[in-house]
Structure 1
């Protein structure tokens, strides 16, 4: 696997910045391409962000991606939040605060516990939170919603409620698409694996300005406090252009991460300097 990874990296570095890239990981039996921070760990074929009380964990691809194609991208991932313990929210469900899909500029970042969901304090970032706790101080609409967060601020700038609980077990799918031409961010989610035609949440945002850099790391965070639970990422796929992904067409790649040249237009791939 190390020889394959070295070959792929060398090939990518020899290509012009216009070469396209797909990152596809059908499970996390191999996390060699990821930087795990805080309480994040690997368990069998899943990426575990947090699994107890008073924890904060993050995991980011250890290679930054140079966003040259209008900062556009499409991502698809599956996750499971289960084994809730500790405090009970106003909706009657035990558990912690959820997890966040994050685009930011430092792969070793991990934010604060609890209501910070491992995201709070990560500057120059975009976060899509799957929030499972009602924090009135953050103006949460309820204890089970999706939110868009900016600049490491846990108070969302846009929110949408979800009727089915995220944190009672079962696989959820999420699609994050950003069109840098019109600065439109769209978020979709489902517990059936089916991508809806309409976005569940959207926002016009200038991602390039939010990041303050053309290099970005993609990954996830989570945080717990007096309420906890098991927060796991099951699979992940990323494309370096606005190229929305459906679960039905997600690449059937080997368990280890696959970096593929797809002829897409726009960004390069840059190894982190150790």
Structure 2
């Protein structure tokens, strides 16, 4: 009898515990004394703010409810339950025109994210796992950076993400105003507190996201509404919390209060009880005195002084635009532009003149008077205390480059914390907008893609530009950021290499250049950079090889949504080449309209240039000769009886087993594949 009662008690306890778990709910009007699972930069301040990010560069911060939450209704056969949550947040950036990564509300199978990258990866994913269904991550991102790799719509948006960084649905940050009967824009990085509501109806499978300033009640119309079944993503139990990260800018990310409820509506936050935000950028904790304490006479005097100050400011501003000009800059003469001229040329840096947004700033179109010359002006921030003189000297040196396939850098302007680089205007923009799917340009008489002849002409032009930089100019110039988005197209679709913001110069015959930080773009970085950190032309050759494959295959170097075999472009082309199917990697948008010999040359040369051994790569002089047909590309001479060696004729040899593991397996390739390899391809 005792055992029957004991068994009944245990079953009843499990039922009660399960019921309690399914109905998890909590409300935090501030986080003072709250038990949160914190990681990285995340911390709770003295006044009860949950701070997810601060001025530490390129780090991550995680904050989670410490206990796992069951999202499945055990009593109803593990049916996915409904849930509701709301929180108040504030994000501040040191620059009004640019922000860092934002905040993500996370529902995840784990509180730990080993190997996750900061910056635009939000501390949740990296290049190899983003987009994989095995992640079991649901996120609502408040993103203040536009990352074209993840199809971001702008640098101020809200998105619903599943297992990766490409939003299933997103919208510019805004809220629906009942009074105006329309959506009103908000700036996520303004530092002003805002409230977000996230609701999921397990029965209707409807996911709603609503945003508003804290002074506005919850709008009736959500910002985002998506029909989606989350049962494939939920792996019971799950953890709920927040993730954030930092990049190169000073940012602060705060959560002021948080409420969550399973199987019900999250309890409303008491806005009056939320902790106060610090005064960002003021540098002082002194409390301002009230109007009553100041008194009417002091107010009058202050208004008079303020009026005088405003009048003087307006007069000074009309006379001269503020610029930073030091004596040592006078020697650069014509290379230095006046800020006023650039301001007028771009119509006050009007958003209508915006050509694009890159990792280093915004680019505007301008008409430079009095000759009505079309220019492109890149506006970036800089630290005036660190190496500006050397940087400007290098910019001026690069401005002396003159080649038909290099975008001409006309000069620069420096003003306070900003640097303006002035280039020749390229009418057709960057090459990547033409070759990648869903990004085709409408400027080519409605043609959706570049023909193969046009692509091959562009490839040869970029190769000629790199040869000029590496060997033909008075100094050796290593570009360090060769990629399709840095190749610009003029009116006649000639390819011109641009964006020398990462370039390094050194004298011919000057020996190995000094080590430097690893900079560039994921997918284009030569493997040896992680150990040697030496800047030399071979790293440009590697990036050029990736660029060749981009142009031929119409794919980015890394495709997060692709299968594991096709994730990395170089690996995919190598695998196809090993199978004798290299032409199956060709961009399908070309619809077989290409010269087979030229296409095979470009694909194989791309693999040649991306060899893992720097000394086995060709020089740009050799590359140009291959592309011009002056000399044949060395054929691959694999000995199928030798399992690990596949040297390239004329390159000093090298282990190609890392290129073609099929040749290193215990089973030899078929004779048909061997024949195709010996004959130079498919």
Fold agreement, TM-score > 0.5: yes
1:30 and 1:242 mapped to 2: Cα distance? 25
Per-residue CA distance 1:42-91 (angstroms, 9 max, x = gap): 21211111112212111111100111232310001001111x13xx6xxx
Q: Contact 1:79–1:173 (CA<8 Å) still a contact in 2?
A: yes
Aligned to 2:232: 209
TM superposition score normalised by structure 2:
0.32
Matched residue SS, 1:17:
helix
Deviation at 1:186, TM superposition (A): 0.4
SS in structure 2 opposite 1:18? Answer: helix
Larger radius of gyration: 2
Whether 2:50 is the aligned partner of 1:47: answer yes
Structure 2 residue aligned with 1:157: 168
Counterparts in 2 of 1:102 and 1:193: CA distance versus 1, 3 Å: farther
Shift of 1:184: 0.9
Structure 1: any 5+ residue segments left out of the alignment? 1-11, 254-274
CA displacement 1:159-210 (0-9 Å, x = unmatched): 0112221111111100000011121110001113421111110212222211
Aligned residues of 1:175 and 1:245 also touching (Cα < 8 A): no
Q: Does 1:114 align with 2:126?
A: no
The secondary structure found in structure 1 opposite 2:18 is coil
Q: 1:245 to 1:199 in 2, by over 3 A?
A: farther
2:247 partner SS: coil
Partner of 2:84: 74
- Which position in structure 2 is the counterpart of 1:103? 107
Change (3 A) 1:159 1:245: farther
Match of 1:229 in 2: 251
- Give 3-state SS (helix, strand or coil) of 2:19's partner: coil
- CA–CA distance in structure 2, aligned partners of residues 60 and 77 of structure 1: 13
Whole-Å Cα distance in 2 between the matches of residues 57 and 73 of structure 1?
24
Partner of 1:184: 206
Shift of 1:221: 0.5
Deviation string 1:200-230 (CA, Å, 9 cap, x unpaired) is: 102122222112x220111000111112410
Listed one character per residue, the Cα deviations across residues 1-50 of structure 1 (whole Å, up to 9, x for unaligned) are xxxxxxxxxxx988342343321111011232x11112211212111111
Name the CA shift for 1:107/1:141 in 2 (closer, same or farther; >3 Å).
same
Counting matched residue pairs gives 231
Greater relative contact order (Cα < 8 A, sep 6+)? 1
| 2:18 matched residue in structure 1 | 17
Change (3 A) 1:46 1:17: same
1:20-39 superposed matches below 5 A: 20-32=23-35, 34-39=36-41
SS at match of 2:232: helix
Other structure's SS at 1:66 match: coil
Provide the rounded CA distance (Å) in 2 between the counterparts of 1:145 and 1:13.
Answer: 43
Contact 2:24 2:69 in 1 (8 A): no
Structure (1/2) with the larger strand percentage = 1
Match of 1:268 in 2: none
Q: Is 1:195 equivalent to 2:205 in the alignment?
A: no
Q: Which runs of 5+ in 2 are unaligned?
A: 1-12, 74-79, 174-184, 275-682
Instruction: Note the C-alpha offset of 1:94.
Output: 3.0
Assess, with a 3 A threshold, how the Cα gap between structure 1 residues 139 and 80 changes in structure 2: closer, same or farther: same
The separation in 2 between residues aligned to 1:198 and 1:136, in whole angstroms, is 29
Residue aligning to 2:195: 173
Structure 1 CA distance for aligned equivalents of residues 142 and 14 of structure 2: 35
* C-alpha contact (below 8 Å) 1:119/1:154 kept by paired residues: no
Q: CA deviation at 1:126?
A: 0.4
Cα distance in 1, alignment partners of residues 15 and 28 from structure 2: 23
TM-score normalised over the length of structure 1: 0.77
1:194–1:120 CA distance, 2 compared to 1 (3 A): farther
CA contact (8 A) 1:130 1:146 kept: yes
How far apart, in 1, do the equivalents of 2:34 and 2:125 lie? 24
Q: CA deviation at 1:245?
A: 5.2
Separation in 2 of the partners of 1:222 and 1:43?
16
